[in-house]
Structure 1
Amino acid sequence: MSANILVIISSGDADKALTGMMYAYNAMNYGWMDKVKVVFFGPAQNLLATHDAMRDMAGRIVEAARAADKDLAPTACKFLSDRDDTSNAVASLGIHVEYVGQLISDFIKDGFTPLVF
């Protein structure tokens, strides 16, 4: 069984999104899983542009991912962030902004277990 997870943060509810972000950060930081990929998708992306606690946690996730594996840098959906005019705000946190449909599918095909918050 794979010890790799794909954490998809999509909730527009900051408390729910932060719960997922906290789990992802701790899984990276404490080695609970072999690999952790974080994808911001949907309403959560707008919170990254405006919510201080989410911006802070996103910075911690970026640093933990950078230390673990540069290929696992957190990513946000380009289509949605362009639509909502948040691409620059999200990218300023160190989060890659790119189309994520194929990316999510590829991680699942590669054996990553999806967790959605």
Structure 2
Amino acid sequence: MSDKLLVIIATENKPKALTALMYAGATIRNEWLEDVKVIYFGPIEQLMTTDEEIANAAIELAAKSETYACKAISDIEGISEKMD
């Protein structure tokens, strides 16, 4: 079995996004797997800039694991500066 997890979050639905963020965070915290990476793609990027709870969860996760967001989408949406 692999010891890696890649979580791709591409939803604007807050409950679904929080579920994915909480799962990734729990996996890291409980050391269920060694390598956890999170990719934010599409609608979640806008949600990260407008919802404080989502933003805080993403910031907390970024401090513990590798996280990535699509720069092209954030540029198109005009939110790249907010994502930094």
Provide the residue aligned with 1:55 in structure 2.
55
Name structure 1 gaps, 5 residues minimum. 66-72, 92-117
Displacement of 1:35 after TM fit?
A: 0.6
- State how 1:1-117 maps to structure 2 within 5 Å: 1-65=1-65, 73-91=66-84
TM-score between the two structures when normalised by the length of structure 2: 0.94
Which secondary structure state, in structure 1, belongs to the residue aligned with residue 64 of structure 2?
A: helix
User: Which deviations, in whole Å up to 9, do the C-alpha atoms of 1:52-72 show, x marking residues without a partner?
Assistant: 10011011101212xxxxxxx
Name structure 2 gaps, 5 residues minimum. none
- Name the amino acid aligned to 1:87: S
User: Which deviations, in whole Å up to 9, do the C-alpha atoms of 1:27-64 show, x marking residues without a partner?
Assistant: 11211111100000010000011101001101110121
- Name the amino acid aligned to 2:11: S
TM-score between the two structures when normalised by the length of structure 1: 0.69
Q: Which runs of 4+ in 1 moved over 6 A?
A: none
Number of residue pairs aligned between Structure 1 and Structure 2: 84
Displacement of 1:26 after TM fit?
A: 1.0
User: Which deviations, in whole Å up to 9, do the C-alpha atoms of 1:79-117 show, x marking residues without a partner?
Assistant: 1100001111111xxxxxxxxxxxxxxxxxxxxxxxxxx
Which secondary structure state, in structure 1, belongs to the residue aligned with residue 63 of structure 2?
A: helix
Displacement of 1:20 after TM fit?
A: 0.1
